[in-house]
């Protein structure tokens, strides 16, 4: 599979899942735009590192995914968009009656509304080329729920619904839209939580991972960012031309329960 000549924009991609996706799309030959809300020298250096590793063009464009105008401007600044991966997201945990309004609004804006705005800006470019891929990184929580995650679960269910509508509106135009639904993925953010969980539960690393952190993931193994990236790359391939409007779970069996 080669994505040479394609431009991919991956939101929220200077670390974690987004960075894994950026690497896999670059490995497949796509030129890539990575993104976050910061604009530091190290962000641009990261783009240069990916470019050097895979021999493609990689740029970093800062954009605040909580701002509708900035979301749309990201697509404009990129200048091209054959593949759009909506990955940006944040999390906050609290009961519904105690959930801060500002946290609710921020999670809905970044996790859901940003995908609407970037997609709206990207579709005309894809239609002009007669080809496009919109891939929304949802979550197992786009298909099921957990307590104390009302905003996140609502947003990710919304992402799944938005993916279906996008697929229907673009059917037969050479454009597909799907949602990838990861379970627990071993990102730097998750890795940083392991020592605290070991101390809290008085368990060794392997036990706390399998018995506490991955309690709902039947495989008792984290997914990797490369596996999520590989799934995204597959959805960009010709083999996935007729896969649209659906979800692909990478969750070790979580949603099979």
Asked if residues 148 and 94 have their Cβ atoms less than 8 Å apart, the reply is: yes
Q: What is the largest CA-CA distance in the chain?
A: 58
Six-digit token string for 226 = 């490369």
Which of 92, 148, 152, 184 is an active site residue? 152
Rounded to 10 deg, the angle between the 150-170 and 101-108 helix axes is 20
Six-digit token string for 84 = 């759009």
Examine the residue annotation and report whether 152 is marked as an active-site residue of this protein. yes
**Contact partners, residue 137, CB within 8 Å, separation at least 6:** 17, 18, 21, 85, 86, 87, 89, 159, 179, 180, 182, 228, 232
Asked if residues 226 and 24 have their Cβ atoms less than 8 Å apart, the reply is: yes
Rounded CA separation 136/131 (Å): 17
Residue 175: how many CB atoms within 10 A of its CB? 22
Q: Where are the alpha helices (DSSP H) in the chain?
A: 16-27, 41-54, 68-78, 101-108, 114-129, 150-170, 188-201, 205-208, 225-235
**Contact partners, residue 41, CB within 8 Å, separation at least 6:** none
**Residues with catalytic function:** 152
């Amino acid at each position: 599979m080669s994505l040479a000549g394609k431009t991919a924009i991956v939101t929220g991609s200077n670390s974690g899942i987004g960075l894994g996706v950026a690497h896999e799309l670059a490995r497949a030959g796509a030129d890539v735009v990575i993104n976050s809300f910061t604009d530091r020298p190290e962000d641009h250096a990261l783009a240069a590192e990916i470019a050097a590793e895979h021999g493609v063009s990689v740029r970093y464009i800062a954009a605040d995914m909580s701002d509708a105008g900035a979301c749309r401007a990201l697509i404009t600044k990129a200048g091209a968009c054959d593949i759009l991966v909506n990955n940006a997201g944040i999390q906050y945990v609290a009961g519904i009656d105690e959930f801060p309004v500002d946290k609710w609004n921020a999670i809905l804006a970044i996790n859901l509304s940003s995908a609407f705005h970037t997609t709206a800006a990207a579709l005309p470019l894809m239609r002009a080329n007669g080809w496009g891929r919109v891939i929304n990184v949802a979550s197992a929580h786009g298909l099921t729920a957990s307590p104390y995650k009302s905003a996140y679960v609502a947003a990710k269910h919304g992402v799944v619904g938005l993916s279906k509508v996008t697929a229907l509106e673009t059917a037969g135009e050479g454009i597909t839209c799907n949602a990838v639904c990861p379970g627990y993925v071993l990102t730097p953010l998750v890795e940083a939580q392991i020592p605290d969980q070991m101390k809290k539960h008085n368990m060794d690393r392997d036990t706390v991972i399998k018995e506490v952190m991955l309690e709902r993931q039947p495989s008792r193994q984290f997914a990797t960012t490369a596996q999520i990236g590989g799934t995204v790359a597959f959805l960009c391939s010709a083999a996935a031309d007729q896969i649209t409007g659906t979800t692909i779970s990478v969750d070790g069996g979580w949603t099979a329960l």
